[in-house]
Amino acid sequence: MVLFAELCRRLTGAGLPVTRVSLHIRTLHPQVAGFGWFWRSDDGITDEIKVDRAVLLSDVYRLNPLFRVLEHGELLDLRPMEAAVQERFAIMKELAEEGITHYIAAPMGSGERY
């Protein structure tokens, strides 16, 4: 978590207009799907969450852009302000209301399943 927080701090320190950053890692645990770390520029705090396997069956997950990235290995480059993007992913409306104009999500893997 310290490495992730430092990366975020350095990105903003280099002048990149980063508002929010998240990192998601799967686990092999029978009940825990993975962990997520969330960083926001307004407070510089990194929060960690544990994701239960039940979340993977929810519409909230399946209708989230991260589903496309984590389950299908897609690279997403979206503009939250666009109506079509908001229709495709409900979270984009929330991001647009926060003033976020660009959303990028990319898979990182070992060449195996994402």
Q: What is the pLDDT of residues 7-61, one digit of tens each?
A: 999 999 999 999 999 999 989 998 999 999 999 999 999 999 999 999 999 999 9
Name the amino acid, one letter, at 16.
Answer: L
pLDDT at residue 113 in the model: 55
pLDDT at residue 37 in the model: 96
pLDDT at residue 114 in the model: 47
Taking the model in full, what pTM does it have? 0.82
| Annotated domain spans of the chain | 1-53, 58-109
d(CA 63, CA 114): 18
- Which residues share a beta bridge with 105? 76
* pLDDT level of residue 111 (50, 70, 90 thresholds): low
d(CA 58, CA 78): 23
d(CA 82, CA 96): 9
